[in-house]
Amino acid sequence: MKCTYNEDLEQYEYLYGGILFVWEDEPGEETEELVKTLAQNYRTRLDSIVEFMLPDIKEIYGVSDPEEIKEKLGRPQIDYDMGQLTYLEHVFDFIHIFTIEFNDDKFEDLQYFSIDG
């Protein structure tokens, strides 16, 4: 697994399966299996993740169609160490960041969704 270091953001980055994985400290080679597992679990649970965000997105942006939400989310970013799933490239607007806190590898234990700007 070959990560790149983003000096501007001071983080290591690895793009896998359309998902950007980030770490503060350089991950070891054993992290590659975790990345594969997280990517698969994210794709498997995406409908549930969207359902978790839906009430807030509907209230703020007026969008209630899960398929439209998925289309507008853009590339996800996963920081496993921080337990955060972030959408920096969504197209709902151009000033907010969507973040979900998660507590497990399967994205079943979602704790908090924030829209920060």
Q: What is the pLDDT of residue 33?
A: 93
Q: What is the pLDDT of residue 113?
A: 97
- pTM: predicted TM-score of the whole model, two decimal places: 0.92
For the chain (117 residues), the mean pLDDT of every run of 10, in chain order, is 90 95 90 94 98 97 97 96 96 95 96 92
Q: What is the pLDDT of residue 28?
A: 86
Domain boundaries, the chain: 4-116
Q: What is the pLDDT of residue 56?
A: 96
Q: What are phi and psi of 61, to 5 degrees?
A: -110, -10
Q: What is the pLDDT of residue 117?
A: 76
